[in-house]
């Protein structure tokens, strides 16, 4: 059990490097630039390359969609653990709106405000779970908006009824 807790609560720099070389992100050229402000913010770069380019020369839409998948869950997981919660966090649902082809590298930044964190904490204390959708904007370096994404995050407080189980 100790080993699991050590792995789960890690530094911003360690998580950045783990995510950079996580195969589903690495091979799609999804690069975590930073985790900042004690896991309140994350900036990600999606580089256009031969590995993620579609037939019309833009970044494959599935790669853009995949790039947005884990980051709200990661931020909330690290934040809530540091606040003493034992949680299970995942992306419950997502939707994407493609606005224009991403013909160059694209970027996005996620920031969790004090209000967002307080809302999640209160729900975890009161009802044992928190579910909320958050918007994201995928932009080029010049600020051109290429896609908008809605990610719905689910957080369960494991101290309120749900028990962990071993997979084997």
Residue 10: the pLDDT is 82
Distances, alpha carbon 119 to alpha carbons 76, 131, 165, in Å: 12, 10, 28
- pLDDT over 90 (residue 8): no
Q: Which of 5-9, 43-47, 109-113, 147-151 has the lowest mean pLDDT?
A: 5-9
The predicted structure's pLDDT at residue 165: 56
pTM: 0.85
Rg value, the chain, Cα = 17
Phi, psi at residue 76, to the nearest 5°? -65, -40
Q: What is the dihedral of CA 27, 50, 137, 115, to 10 degrees?
A: 20
Q: Is the pLDDT of residue 2 over 70?
A: no
Q: Which has the higher per-residue pLDDT, 165 or 20?
A: 20
- Over range 30-55, report the average pLDDT: 94
What tokens were used for 156?
A: 């369960």
Mean residue pLDDT across the chain: 89
Q: What is the distance between the alpha carbons of residues 43 and 33, in angstroms, rounded to a whole number?
A: 5
Average pLDDT over residues 139-145: 95
**Mean per-residue pLDDT for 140-150?**
96
Please list, residue by residue across 114-146, b when 16 or more beta carbons sit within 10 angstroms of its beta carbon and e when fewer do.
eebbeebbebbeeeebbebeeebebbbeeeeeb
Place of tokens 């991403």: 102
């Amino acid at each position: 059990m100790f080993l699991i807790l050590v792995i789960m609560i890690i530094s911003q720099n360690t998580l950045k490097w783990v995510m950079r070389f996580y195969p589903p992100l690495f091979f799609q050229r999804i690069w975590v630039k930073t985790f900042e402000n004690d896991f309140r913010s994350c900036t990600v770069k999606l580089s256009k390359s031969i590995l993620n380019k579609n037939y019309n020369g833009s970044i494959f839409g599935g790669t853009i969609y995949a790039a947005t998948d884990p980051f709200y869950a990661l931020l909330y997981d690290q934040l809530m653990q540091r606040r003493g919660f034992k949680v299970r966090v995942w992306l419950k649902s997502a939707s994407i709106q493609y606005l224009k082809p991403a013909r160059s590298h694209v970027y996005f930044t996620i920031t969790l405000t004090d209000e967002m964190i307080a809302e999640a904490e209160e729900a975890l204390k009161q009802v044992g779970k928190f579910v909320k959708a958050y918007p994201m904007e995928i932009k080029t370096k010049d600020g051109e908006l290429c896609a908008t994404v809605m990610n719905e995050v689910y957080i369960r407080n494991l101290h309120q009824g749900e028990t962990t189980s071993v997979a084997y």
